[in-house]
Amino acid sequence: MRITTKGRYALRAVVNMAMTSGGKPVPIKKISEEEEISAEFLEQICFRLKKAGLIRSVRGPGGGFLLNRPPENISMYDIFEAVGEGAEIAPCIPDCAPGEGSGAACHRKNVCCAHPTWLKLSREVLGILNGYTVKAIVEDSALNPTAARL
């Protein structure tokens, strides 16, 4: 599994909103500057996060983006899925989200001795990503002196 720049930036943006918003919208420019992410790229990421229902936008003066759910109800997997990241360990295990890979990328699935192992590992990774929430990331961050408020 390899997390792309888009996935890392999406996670940073959501965590930034959780850490700095105080329930108020955070302007995309502010997130962009603090996280050193191109505003244009961040807009694309926020569009996907919004479409997935993880964040919402507020227009007008004082507008920006804010979490649409409590930080404890947003997992790393939710964020990665929203921006099109995969959690598979091997190409023969695309999307193990419900617990079963489709095996569409490999015609040897039924005769491959490693396939069951890849499937188990993918399920474990998926479990970790689903279990690790934005709240946990914020609480683990040494950059957040107010983590206890979440």
The backbone torsions φ and ψ at residue 133, rounded to the nearest 5 degrees and listed phi first, read -100, 165
**Does the residue 67 lie in any domain?**
yes
Whether residue 62 lies inside any domain: the answer is yes
Q: Using 50, 70 and 90 to split pLDDT, how confident is the model at 112? A: confident
1-14 residue pLDDT tens: 678 899 999 999 99
CB 87 within 8 A of CB 123: no
Beta bridge pairs of residue 55: 67
pLDDT in tens, 11-60: 999 999 998 877 889 999 999 999 999 999 999 999 999 999 999 999 98
Could you tell me if residue 25 is inside a domain?
yes
- Looking at the 3D structure of the chain, how many domains does it have? 1
Residues in CB range of 42: below 8 A, 6 or more apart:
9, 13, 28, 31, 32, 35
Q: Tell me if 125 is assigned to some domain.
A: no
Residue 136 lies in a domain: yes
Which tokens hold the place of 101?
């890979």
Range of the domain at 12: 5-86+132-149
> What confidence tens digit (pLDDT) does each residue in 57-84 have?
999 888 899 999 999 999 999 999 999 8
Kindly tell me the burial class for residue 127, based on how many C-beta atoms sit within 10 Å of its own C-beta (0-12, 13-18, 19 or more).
middle
Q: Is residue 29 included in any domain, yes or no?
A: yes
Instruction: Check which CATH number belongs to the domain holding 59 and give it.
Output: 1.10.10.10
Assessment of whether the complete model's pTM goes beyond 0.75? yes
Residue 71: inside a domain, yes or no?
yes
Whether 22 maps to a domain, the answer reads: yes
> E-assigned strands of the chain?
55-58, 64-67
